[in-house]
Amino acid sequence: MALSWNYDDMPDQTGRTVLITGASSGLGLVLADRLARRGASVIMAVRDVAKGERARAGLTGDLEVRQVDLADLDSVRSFVEGMRADRRRIDVLVNNAGIGGQTRELTRQGHESVFATNHLGAFALTGLLLDLFRPDHDPRVVAVGSNLYRRIKVRTDFEDLSAEGGFSPGTAYVRSKLANILFGAELDRRLRRAGSPVRSFLSHPGMASTPMHDSARTVAQRAMVTIGGALFSRPVEQAALPLAFAATDPAARTGVFLGFAPRKKDIRVHFDALVPPADDLALAARLWRISEEATGVRYLGDPVLAEGDDQRL
C-alpha cells in the first residue's frame, strides 16, 4: 500500500503540541517548520541551545527551544523534570535525533554513544514523558528508523552496550536504527495491551541530504555518501514527509514502516511490512528489558520483567 501525500495534505494542527528531538537542523528542523506552519505548538528539543535558537529565529509560529542531550540520561531526566515543573503537556513526540560516530566513545553512563543517543535516550525520554500525553488529542509517538536494516546484517545481541566486543561506524548506526524500529513496534503492542490511547508509529526518510553526511571521514565513506547520494538521496524537505505523515495523518497505521521506496522518483508514502529481524517479538522484548536495565526507566512504574513474562506495560 502506498499513498500520495504532501505537506498541503497535513491536517490542521492548531491546539496540538509536538515535541521533536534533534530539531535544530535536518529532518527535525523541516518538521518543526512544517508543523508550526500548520498551527502546532512545537518544542524543539536540542543539544545545543544556541544553535537551536538560531534555527528557531528563521521560522515563524509557536516554537520553543529546550535543551536535552540524549546521550546523557541525567540530561534526559532533567529535561522531563523541566517539562513537569512548567506543567507542559504534549500530543506528539517525534524521536528524530540521531548521530553517527567514527570512533568508539562512551557516555557518562558508560554506554557506546551512538546506541546511547539514538536508542537509549529515546527509550528513556519516551517512558518518562508518557503520562504527559493528553489522551484526547490523538497522542502519538513517532520513531525514526532506517530501512538499511534490510540490507546490512548486524549483531542483535544488544547486551554489549559499551561496544567492548568491537566497533564499526556503519554497523553501529544501523544497529541503533534497528533498535529504534524494534522499540517503536514493541511500544505500540504494549500500549495497546494497556488500553492506552497513545499510538506508536514507525517512519523512515530513506537516504536524506542532512548534516549527518558531513561526518563521513574516510575515502570509502565519502565515496559511499557521494554515490549513494546520487542514486538514492532525497532533499531534506521531501525526506521529512513520512515523518510528518506519521505524526499527523489519520490514515497512518502502526505496525508498518511508513517511508519511501528506494526509487527517488517514487514520492509516495509506503506502508511496508517489517521483515526479519525487525519483526522478531522475542528480540524486541529482550531489547526492552535491556533498555530498562540500562536506563532505569520503568514504563508506568513497572519493574524489570523476568524472561518470558507477558505482563508488560
Place of cell 545545543: 48
Place of cell 536524506: 208
Provide the residue type at 11 as one letter. P
Question: 243 by DSSP, 3-state: which?
Answer: helix
Exactly one of 7, 149, 173, 299 is catalytic; name it. Answer: 173
Question: 46 by DSSP, 3-state: which?
Answer: strand
CA angle 10, 12, 14 (to 5 degrees): 140
Is the distance from CB of 168 to CB of 194 less than 8 angstroms? no
Helices 169-193 and 281-295 cross at an angle (nearest 10°) of 100
Is the distance from CB of 108 to CB of 165 less than 8 angstroms? no
Cβ contacts of residue 235 below 8 Å, gap of 6+?
208, 209
Distance between CA 146 and CA 292 in Å, rounded? 23
Is residue 173 annotated as a catalytic residue, yes or no?
A: yes
Is the distance from CB of 20 to CB of 43 less than 8 angstroms? yes
Residues labelled catalytic? 173
